[in-house]
Structure 1
Amino acid sequence: MSTTTLTTWSLEMTSPTDLVPSVGVPGPEIRIVRSEVPSPEFSRFLYTAVGGDIHWTDRLGLTRAQWAQLLGRPGVETWVIYDRGTPAGYVELDPQPDGVVEIIYFGLVPEFRGRRIGGHLLTVGIEKAWSLAERWPELSPTRRVWLHTCSLDGPAAMPNYVRRGFKVFREETEPYEPTPTPGSWPGA
C-alpha cells in the first residue's frame, strides 16, 4: 500500500456561549437518551456501527473488562440518538482534570448520515458536556469542551463542528498507510 497524509484537527469551545445550536429540531421520531447503565456490549456496538467505515480501531482490541473500566469512570456519559427506536448514532463524553470535557466519540451509523440529525445530536452532546458537573458533583464545573477529528472522518464532520462554534486550536499532519476499514462487522 502507498502512504498518504493524515491530518488531525483539535477543536475547542471555552464558553457555553460559543455553542451555535443546530437549526430545527427533528420530529418526534427522533429521541436522544443517556445510556445510564454502562454496558461494554452496547458501547462496542455503537463504536463499531458508527466508526467501522471511518477507521475507528483504537478500542477494537480492548477486553470487556477494559471497556467496563473506561465506561465506569465518574462523568463518562454516552448519549444515543434513536430514530423510531433504532440507535442511529451517539456522543460519548470523557471528563478530564480541571473542568475539561472531551467529546471522545461522536457520529452516526452510516444509514443515518445525511438526514440532518447529526447537528442536533452534536448540539445536545455539547450542552451535556457543559452541564456535566450538574450530574456529577464530584467533577469540576466545565470550563472547556474539546474534540478531535481527522481527514478520515466523513465529509460532514468538520463543517458540523465549525457550525456548532468549535474553533481549531491544533492541526497535525503525518504520513499514514491506509488499511482496509474493519466495517461494522469486524472479523466477519
Structure 2
Amino acid sequence: MLEDGFHDVPNGKIAAVVTSLEMFAKPPARPEAEGLDWTLERLPRPAAEDYLALYSAVGRDWLWFTRLVMPREALLATIRDPRVEVYRLEAPGGETGILELDFRQADTCELAYFGVSPGLVGGGAARWMMNRAVERAWSRPIRRFWVHTCTLDHPSAPQFYMRSGFQPFRREVEIADDPRLAGLAPLDSAPHIPVIDADSA
C-alpha cells in the first residue's frame, strides 16, 4: 500500500490513477439524437495492423499503450478469441470508434476498450455506441459488466461511465514506460502529459 504523500515516478515512465467501475443489471438506454449516420461493424478476425490502426486512431491522444506493447501472437490470440468481440464505429469524414467486449471470464463482460476519434468527442457518438455496448453485453447470460478508466483518458470519462450506469469500486496507481519514448506513439501524442526522458537530470 502506498503511504500518504508524494511518490517519485522515474524519468521515462508515466503514472496514472486507474478507476474501475461496474454494473450488475442492465440500465435503461440513454436518449440518442435521431438521424445519425453511424454504423457499428464487428471485426471477427481482424488483422493486427488493422486493429492497431483503429486502436491508435482512438487512443493516441490518451496514450493507450497496452496493445502496442503486446507480442503480436498474444494480441492476435486475444482479438481473434471467439469470446472477444471487436467493433469499429463508422462515421462520416473518416471518424471512427472502437468497442471491445471481453467475455472470457465466466458470468462477466469487460468493456476492454471504448472510445471515439477526436472529431466525434462531444457529439453524441460515444453515448450511441455505449447504448449498443450495454445491449450487446447484457444479451449474454452475464452477472457483471465492468470497465476501467484512468487519468490519462479524457477527463470526462469517469462521469460518462457513471451516467451510463457503472459505479466505481476500485482505485489503483499504474506506472509504465512512456510509449512515446519507446517509439510506439508519436512524441507529440497526449500533449497534456509532458514527456520526461529517462536521461533527463
TM-score, normalized by the shorter chain, greater than 0.5:
yes
Which amino acid in structure 1 is aligned with residue 115 of structure 2?
G
- Is this contact kept in 1: 2:101–2:112, CA < 8 A? yes
- Is this contact kept in 1: 2:12–2:181, CA < 8 A? no
Q: 1:182 to 1:55 in 2, by over 3 A?
A: farther
Percent sequence identity over aligned pairs: 32
Question: Is residue 103 of structure 2 the alignment partner of residue 82 of structure 1?
Answer: no
Question: Is residue 64 of structure 2 the alignment partner of residue 56 of structure 1?
Answer: yes
Q: How far has the Cα of 1:103 moved from its partner?
A: 0.5
TM-score normalised to structure 1 length:
0.80
Tell me which residue corresponds to 1:114: 122
Once residues 119 and 183 of structure 1 are traced to their aligned partners in structure 2, the CA distance between those partners, rounded to angstroms, is: 33
Which amino acid in structure 1 is aligned with residue 25 of structure 2?
S
Deviations 1:58-110 (A, max 9, x none): 11123433222111212210122111373511110111322111011001112
Which amino acid in structure 2 is aligned with residue 167 of structure 1?
Q
Q: 1:56 to 1:21 in 2, by over 3 A?
A: same
Which of residues 45, 52, 59 in structure 2 aligns to 1:44? 52
Greater gyration radius: 2
Which amino acid in structure 1 is aligned with residue 17 of structure 2?
T
Once residues 3 and 116 of structure 1 are traced to their aligned partners in structure 2, the CA distance between those partners, rounded to angstroms, is: 34
Tell me which residue corresponds to 1:150: 150
Cα RMSD, aligned residues only: 3.0
Q: How far has the Cα of 1:20 moved from its partner?
A: 3.8
Which of residues 18, 21, 34 in structure 2 aligns to 1:11? 21
Q: 1:24 to 1:42 in 2, by over 3 A?
A: same
Which amino acid in structure 2 is aligned with residue 40 of structure 1?
A
Q: 1:27 to 1:35 in 2, by over 3 A?
A: farther
Once residues 182 and 3 of structure 1 are traced to their aligned partners in structure 2, the CA distance between those partners, rounded to angstroms, is: 11
Q: Which runs of 5+ in 1 are unaligned?
A: 132-139
How do residues 103-142 of structure 1 correspond to structure 2 at under 5 angstroms?
103-131=111-139, 141-142=141-142
Q: Which runs of 5+ in 2 are unaligned?
A: 1-10, 189-201
Tell me which residue corresponds to 2:4: none
Question: Is residue 168 of structure 2 the alignment partner of residue 168 of structure 1?
Answer: yes
TM-score normalised to structure 2 length:
0.75
Tell me which residue corresponds to 2:77: 69
Q: How far has the Cα of 1:11 moved from its partner?
A: 0.4
Which of residues 29, 33, 36 in structure 1 aligns to 2:41? 33
Which amino acid in structure 1 is aligned with residue 20 of structure 2?
S
